A and B are shown apart, each in its own frame.
Chain A
Amino acid sequence: EAQVTQNPRYLITVTGKKLTVTCSQNMNHEYMSWYRQDPGLGLRQIYYSMNVEVTDKGDVPEGYKVSRKEKRNFPLILESPSPNQTSLYFCASRTGSLEQYFGPGTRLTVT
């Protein structure tokens, strides 16, 4: 089954404790993205990747890092999480100018 998976689905952590949210897709898609979704603000892109080892900042990259060492994986790293990074995070992938598939989401709470 074609899908985008994310782990963990829920995470509660404390300020400053490094964390990684994994994202994996099995569709051989070139493009992968991370978004955060906050009430009233819609989906805002954090980082995106056009292919292996090629990444670029989206609209809200501060406080986040990404890497794309393999085509299928695109982890999101929060080196020192802060409460303003409490949000719902989505990973997504697509190929070319076609529809984008979203992962199930990760709800992160930073206290």
Chain B
Amino acid sequence: EDKVVQSPLSLVVHEGDTVTLNCSYEVTNFRSLLWYKQEKKAPTFLFMLTSSGIEKKSGRLSSILDKKELFSILNITATQTGDSAVYLCAGMPSNDYKLSFGAGTTVTVRA
């Protein structure tokens, strides 16, 4: 059975801090790793990572995939209160049918 584990489960930081979220995966016939942000509503897409070692960046958020060690990290720099959310990662197999989600990391950014 496929498994995706996120750490930490939750963290509290102050505005301006840098946050690193971890996602390890065991997905049969792995194709891609996806990151989502969820703020008390439906998850919204952040990144899809397919190639190892290539950083994807969007503003203050960046993410990278290590297919040898089977993990991904999501970095948020210069955090703002609007970054407070649950961050979810999911593994996608090559047959595309089934995403396996981790339990999420709850990030709270205090002013």
Contact = CB atoms under 8 A, between A and B. Distances in A.
Chain B interface category by residue count: 20 to 34
Interface in A95-111: 96-105
Interface residues of A, number: 25
A43 B101 contact: yes
Given A42-B104, A97-B32, A97-B92, A31 B97 contact: yes
Interface string A55-94: 0101100000000000000000000000000000010000
Contacts of A31: 96-97
Residue among A42, A97, A98, A99 facing the most chain B CB atoms (10 A cut-off): A42
A58 B98 contact: yes
User: Top 4 A-B pairs ranked by shortest CB distance?
Assistant: A102-B42, A42-B103, A43-B101, A99-B45
